[in-house]
Structure 1
């Protein structure tokens, strides 16, 4: 802990010139509770892979991710790691744990508990912003916008406690919509306090790693709970290949380029880049569940329709989002040649989508192999494209 037990929030941007900002031990500990929350979300989806089950999975995923993003954004700008910061983080972790506990029936009998936990987590974030607003005058215009926006969103959730289903969920959706649009139009306010160019990509990358870990855990779980045979082992290996391909495609593309555009007041690119990570996390966790289900049915002649759509739909979503993330990092002039990488991802996404539509008679092992090949070929094309660019740049 810092030498002073209590410290007021301070603007962290630019204070460590010449040194890359890294995630603190407190932030890494905070992430652990989201490992649990995502595992519970994946378990929920695994029990119900119908259309309603998928929609429910997405509906509960968004508020949990929103809590993580809000806390990460605050830490990026104002983190002090003093006693007060640690205590507030502890309370936030308790609220996220309550969200995870209420996930299983979050759209049913536990909806009130889920809403109360979310209100608690957002309220703590608002309190942190209020404290930072008092101590950091330069950040007040931007923080005023966040305090009012997030406060209004939390107010919708609070109001939902007093109305029945389905109107309760309509208020949830309204509250989340307000939260998500609050940063829009703040480009002129954010130019002076742009998130740290090394810390923010690292934090988003760490969350992506957490979700990838859930995908790997799902593959292992699928193998453990089924009698070992050639089909299940090959299907598991293909599932690991898909996860490894996603890791490769993501971490070879991610950098702080969108933050550079934010410094010029172009916040739309930055917001697109950040929110695309929400869709990627949703897709990665769902991919793990999809592979797990395919392993369970690996000995069947034909993969059930709902499992085929879950796997192919999740992989398609991941590839589309990876294409979008790559595009947002290719906005700057020097990265224009890299946009071809997005085309490869889009092509692979189209191929996997065709498998979802036309792969009615495909066996689990054959379908998973084709999906894995599409992902691995995309990685190979990325490597080939990057190698050509290096050769051209050296000439």
Structure 2
């Protein structure tokens, strides 16, 4: 079908778009978030402490939420026309400005960070207003999003006029309002669900972005240290952990959470969705942890804060993967899903035990134990899925 330069938004949930894939523009859009995650990881690498991790999470939340907002609008309404492309490119420019302000986002650049976030949300609100004007059957849903996102953005606007730390309190209130906005959509979202193939693919692509940061961290760690047996072994094991998480996540991806949403079980879907935020935070933190383990690969005892960052992030990811796996099995394969989730919980508990009791472990021994726990989990997954696939 021939397209004009401008087309009004349309719903993209019919059968024609059931097999829709990510567009080239969406993939280009993701590139700015690759840079943002790298900058966030750099900040955490400079301050591997509880305060540094809290700051890392505080800045990660609005970055991820901007990506989610654009992703879910695109899966429902984008037309890939001139107007849509220009607004997307404008959003990319705003996210670049957001990334520029990340370095001192909780201090000197906090006001610039807030302004960029407000601009990004205003673009999304404008897109939903336009979509609601042209797509009458979606107007109730778009109006709900506009109200919720506008209230949340208003808190960020107020933050520009209050000093630190009250500014961050306004940010938190704004994000809370925006995060709970989808919960109130109820039957509106059930009647107009996101595309069944597009959303899992987009969530997987963001997971690839943060996994890529783990690989980049290995490269940075090895490049900044003279090669020896311990550093090379640590780097190899770090890559194996990234590969294990890739396997555990993508070997269980399906459309079950969206099926639950269509069945009216909105809370299950939102649990699946928001679990990806925690997973992304954990995977990015693992990359920083591996980089520090490579730097300290020749040290007999790893510093406690670095041990906790690495083991805590790995344990968090394993436990969140257990939750994500369980949400993909609530409609079918319930027994298999519970078994696979139990494997992840068990591995996560073991790694958490290492964080608590591994104060005398060297970096090489610690990462060896963690990598083995991850690889054993993968092996158990393969064995269990093979058992369930055998004819009875």
What TM-score, normalized to structure 2? Answer: 0.99
The residue number in structure 2 matching 1:261 is 260
Give the secondary-structure state (helix, strand or coil) at the position aligned to 1:16: helix
Deviation at 1:364, TM superposition (A): 0.4
Deviation at 1:15, TM superposition (A): 4.3
User: Aligned runs of 1:65-144 on 2, under 5 Å?
Assistant: 65-144=64-143
Deviation at 1:73, TM superposition (A): 0.2
Verify the 8 A CA contact 1:254 1:325 in the aligned structure 2. no
Give CA deviations for 1:135-168 in whole Å, capped at 9, x if unaligned: 1111111111110000000000000000001100
Return 5+ residue gaps in structure 1 as ranges: none
Verify the 8 A CA contact 2:8 2:79 in the aligned structure 1. yes
The residue number in structure 1 matching 2:318 is 319
Verify the 8 A CA contact 1:92 1:124 in the aligned structure 2. yes
Deviation at 1:338, TM superposition (A): 2.1
Deviation at 1:213, TM superposition (A): 0.4
Verify the 8 A CA contact 1:2 1:82 in the aligned structure 2. no
1:52 aligns with 2:58: no
Q: Which moved more, 1:334-343 or 1:228-237?
A: 334-343
Measure, in 2, the Cα distance between the counterparts of 1:253 and 1:371: 21
The residue number in structure 2 matching 1:168 is 167
Deviation at 1:264, TM superposition (A): 1.6
User: Aligned runs of 1:285-364 on 2, under 5 Å?
Assistant: 285-364=284-363
Q: For this pair of structures, how many residues does the alignment match?
A: 392
Verify the 8 A CA contact 2:318 2:344 in the aligned structure 1. yes
Q: Which moved more, 1:187-196 or 1:369-378?
A: 187-196
1:246 aligns with 2:255: no
Deviation at 1:2, TM superposition (A): 6.1
Verify the 8 A CA contact 1:160 1:169 in the aligned structure 2. yes
The residue number in structure 2 matching 1:3 is 3
The residue number in structure 2 matching 1:228 is 227
The residue number in structure 2 matching 1:25 is 24
Measure, in 1, the Cα distance between the counterparts of 2:348 and 2:98: 32
1:34 aligns with 2:33: yes
Measure, in 2, the Cα distance between the counterparts of 1:95 and 1:244: 33
| Distance change in 2, residues 1:90/1:2 (3 Å) | farther
Deviation at 1:3, TM superposition (A): 2.3
Measure, in 2, the Cα distance between the counterparts of 1:136 and 1:337: 41
Give the secondary-structure state (helix, strand or coil) at the position aligned to 1:182: helix
Give the secondary-structure state (helix, strand or coil) at the position aligned to 1:206: helix
The residue number in structure 2 matching 1:280 is 279
1:183 aligns with 2:219: no
| Distance change in 2, residues 1:15/1:5 (3 Å) | farther
Measure, in 2, the Cα distance between the counterparts of 1:347 and 1:336: 17
RMSD: 1.1
Give CA deviations for 1:55-95 in whole Å, capped at 9, x if unaligned: 00000000000000000000000010000000000110011
Give CA deviations for 1:103-127 in whole Å, capped at 9, x if unaligned: 1100000000000000000000000
The residue number in structure 2 matching 1:196 is 195
Give the secondary-structure state (helix, strand or coil) at the position aligned to 1:185: helix
Measure, in 1, the Cα distance between the counterparts of 2:118 and 2:217: 30
Verify the 8 A CA contact 2:234 2:297 in the aligned structure 1. yes
Runs of 4+ in 1 over 4 A off after TM superposition: none
